[in-house]
Structure 1
Amino acid sequence: MVACALRIEQAALRGAGRGAPDAYALLRTGMGPRAAERAVGRALARPGMGRAAVLATGFCAGLVPGMNPGDLVLAEETRDAHGAVPCTGTPLLAEALARAAPGRAVHIGVLTGSDHVVRGQERARLRATGAIAVDMESAATLRTATRGSGRPVAAVRVVVDAPEHELVRIGTVRGGISAFRVLRAVLPAFYEWHRSLLLPRR
């Protein structure tokens, strides 16, 4: 299941490259951790979802100076006030992202959760905890997905604003358009990660 706060057109998912899984679900969670928790909980309670893998995606705010709109953030773990959730298959997903978006910066580390848009000095405080980026849905999505289950989970976000490119600045409009294009471009990497989970373990 691909969970996101924004809508990625179903046509884009189906046309994102050869070998896409026959069975997948796209879930638009809505904005914020509470909306994500409710939407993911309902979706995974449906028949047949069982051990379905869950990947959270969308946009994020970069916390590290030098990040730019359109950079990718790959979570090693997601973290919020409720705890941390380790991600599955991060090295493989990193390789898949590099193939899907050659030359695009991929930042790997802790993706932290917030219930509001983070600006100014709050970015520095979150960075001091070891996080490299922040968003409002990934931590809640993965926490809900793994509750009572060892299902595989991952989170990939695209930087839409960063310390030098905050949302309040006019130039971020172009950054947001660029970030959306990057998100669509890396969909094949999500499929590759999912296929790797289906391979028999040796």
Structure 2
Amino acid sequence: MVSQFVSSVPVRLLGDLDFEFPEGTHAIGRLDSDSEGLLILTTNKEVTQLLFCGGKPHTRTYLVRVKGRMTANTLKRLQTGVPIRISGDDYYIAKPAHVEIVERPATLPDRPGELPIDAPQTWLLITLTEGKYHQVRKMVGALKHRCQRLIRVSIENLALEGLQPGEVRELNEHVFFQQLNILYPTKN
């Protein structure tokens, strides 16, 4: 599924979900077609500005499966900032990130075409405070580990918490702003 409501090519879209979205609903912090996990949908046009363009950086946490066994040295490089290509020959040093090696969650469903569970792999939990284009994939790729699965599990305190693929959870707007750690806009 593509994290948008319209497309010029025939793909599965958010509007195909079994949910009546209000007019003006849009995605914040889109996921690419090879990623999965938490996607914020809102009708409030201020949320993107408040969340990603404000003075305080907001966290995004990803569960990531990479090919091969990651060493402690490689893990340290991810934690302290790694150069990633942003375009052509231009590189950017990714900000330090919280990265830890974790076990594959027992409740995580297999993905079609996924490599066998006993193939050499490492599961990581990566928390970023920035969101460059394909940043997680570029970070692990720069260290010679191919990203095989990428699941956004949270943005600030707003988390998947058992949501299944395609499931939608509505939140009260005050709760929504509180979980995202952004100030609820007051009308003058």
TM-score scaled by structure 2? 0.28
Hey, which of these two has a bigger chunk of helix by percent? 1
Q: Which has the larger radius of gyration?
A: 2
Q: Which has the higher contact order (CA 8 A, sep 6+)?
A: 1
TM-score scaled by structure 1? 0.27
